[in-house]
Amino acid sequence: QVRLVESGGGSVQAGGSLRLSCSASGVTFSTRCMGWFRQAPGKEREGVARIDRDGTTSHADSVKGRFTISADNTKNTLYLQMNSLKPEDTAMYYCAAGYEYVLSTFRPADYLHWGQGTQVTVAS
C-alpha cells in the first residue's frame, strides 16, 4: 500500500547541481522520520540527510553545506537539493520513511519503507 518513488537523478559534471524528489502515497511524511540514503557499488548504505518527526533536519558531515533536505507536506513530497557535486557523491540515492515509533535516526534498519532509488553520477 505504501509507495515511495524517487526522481531527479542523472549525470552531471563536478560542481553541478541536481534536485531529487520523492513522492509518497499511503504514508504521511509529516508523521514520520524521513531520510535520504545513498549506496555506491561495494559500499555500505549510508544516511545523507533526514527530517526528524519534530521537523529537525540533519545532514551527514560529507554533504553539509552542499546538500539540503526539505519537504512539501501539502504534496507529501520529499526533496534533496544537491549543489557543488563531487565524483564521490556518485551513488544510487533512496528515500525512506521510518517506523512509526522512530523519532530521529540515520540507521537504515530503522526505516520501514523504501523507494526503488534514482542514480546520481558525477563526472570529474
Which residue ranges in the chain fall short of pLDDT 50?
none
Instruction: Quote the pLDDT of residue 29.
Output: 86
Instruction: Quote the pLDDT of residue 116.
Output: 97
Instruction: Quote the pLDDT of residue 30.
Output: 85
Instruction: Quote the pLDDT of residue 14.
Output: 98
Say if residue 115 is exposed, middle or buried (CB neighbours under 10 Å; 0-12, 13-18, 19+): buried
